[in-house]
């Protein structure tokens, strides 16, 4: 699954978005933002997952805006996504 940055934008709280994603079965998060670019949601993610009795995986590989990632960074990102798929870290809970 891919999507926009789920953290707080313009003063909004990330927890409702994170809860929705976790309840939908998303437990693996790959953050491509740079340190300081946007407010980190990693602590809120871990806390919300624990409240729901889930474990969430958060990894950051920063890619500066308007640039292409280095080849080794892209390989790491794609490997992380492949690993998440292989371990069913995204599940369909809508059934």
Rounded to whole angstroms, the Cα distance separating 69 from 90 reads: 24
Tell which CATH architecture fits domain 15-86.
Alpha-Beta Complex (3.90)
The tens digit of pLDDT for each residue in 23-46 reads 988 888 888 888 888 888 888 899
Q: What pTM value is reported for the model?
A: 0.77
What is the spatial distance between Cα 35 and Cα 21, in angstroms, rounded to a whole number? 23
Give which of 74, 77, 65 is closest to 33, Cα–Cα: 65
- Which pLDDT tens digit goes with each residue over 44-84? 899 999 999 999 989 888 888 889 999 998 998 888 888 87
How far from the centroid of its chain's Cα atoms is residue 78's Cα?
14
Domain ranges of the chain: 15-86
């Amino acid at each position: 699954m891919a999507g926009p940055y789920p953290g707080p934008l313009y003063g909004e709280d990330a927890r409702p978005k994170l809860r929705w994603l976790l309840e939908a079965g998303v437990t693996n998060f790959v953050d491509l933002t740079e340190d300081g670019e946007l407010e980190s949601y990693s602590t809120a993610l871990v806390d919300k997952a624990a409240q729901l009795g889930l474990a969430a995986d958060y990894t950051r590989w920063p890619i500066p805006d308007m640039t292409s990632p280095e080849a080794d960074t892209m390989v790491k990102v794609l490997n992380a996504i492949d690993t998440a798929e292989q371990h069913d870290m995204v599940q369909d809970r809508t059934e």
